[in-house]
Structure formats: C-alpha cells, structure tokens
Amino acid sequence: MKKILILNGPNLNLLGKREPTIYGNQTFEAYFQDLSSQYEDVSLHYFQSNHEGAIIDKIHEIGFDFDGMIINAGGLTHTSVALADAISAVTTPAVEVHISNIHSRESFRHHSFLTSRCKGMICGLGLQGYELALRYLLAN
C-alpha cells in the first residue's frame, strides 16, 4: 500500500471560511475524508501547520519512507528557500498544488521557490488539484 502525505501550509486550516470566492466553502478535513474514502487502497496522511519549521520537520520525518507528498505551502511557496531545500533534501517525490491560480493573482504570487524541486505543479483547479496530484503519484 502506497503512503502519501498531503501537507498544507499557513492559513489553509481556514478553508471553508477564508475567502470562499477564491478557496471555496468546503473545509479541507471534509475534502480529505471524501478523498480517503475514494482511495481506500492508499495510506493517506494529512498534516497542516501555520509554522514553517513544523512543515520542514514533517518533510524530514516522512521524506525517506513515503511514496509521495502533495504540498500546498500557502504563502511560504513564495518566500521559503528553507522549505524548497527540505524538499530537495529528501527522496520522497513531491507535487506542488495551489487551489487558486497563483499566476492570475498578485505578482508576488507568480514565483514559487518549490516548483523546481517538485515533479510538477497544479494550480487553479480548486481542491480537485489534490486528487490530480494523488493520481499522478500513484501512477508513477
């Protein structure tokens, strides 16, 4: 059974409440339950933190034992070299996901420090981007 971690960064704990016109009305916990029930043959894990160090620690913890990680680093995407270095330091392949289309938003969101360290990036497809990333990781 493949082990996959979904890793969400700052402010993503507010999904369902935060800017629903951008991020939708569903909580991530509800989405994760639905996703887990669709992929019962996968060991899906979820971690969210508003703290950069905790996210880096989690990457180090799973980075040599899991079959993949799906990461939405939120605002840290555009600022954290340390997070990019953590992804590079481990062997677990990562796919970057963003709920909104970061390229149609403020210019500071157009650059990601993570993209070059990941297998690919999915943005602008809402929560469905997580499932698309999962399907990629399961197929490769």
Instruction: List the binding residues.
Output: 72, 78, 85, 99-100, 109
Q: CA 116, 122, 126, 132 torsion: positive or negative?
A: negative
Known binding positions for substrate: 72, 78, 85, 99-100, 109
Residue 64: count other Cβ atoms within 10 Å of its Cβ: 10
- In degrees, rounded to 5, the angle at the alpha carbon of residue 95 between the alpha carbons of residues 31 and 86 is 115
Active site residue 98: yes
Q: Quick one: which of 120, 123, 119 has its CA closest to 110?
A: 123
Active site residue 111: no
- Identify the H or E element spanning 98: strand 94-98
Q: Which one is catalytic: 46, 98, 111, 136?
A: 98
Question: Could you give the C-alpha distances from 81 to 85, 113, 114, 136, 138, in angstroms and in order?
Answer: 6, 6, 8, 25, 28
Q: Which residues carry out catalysis? A: 23, 98
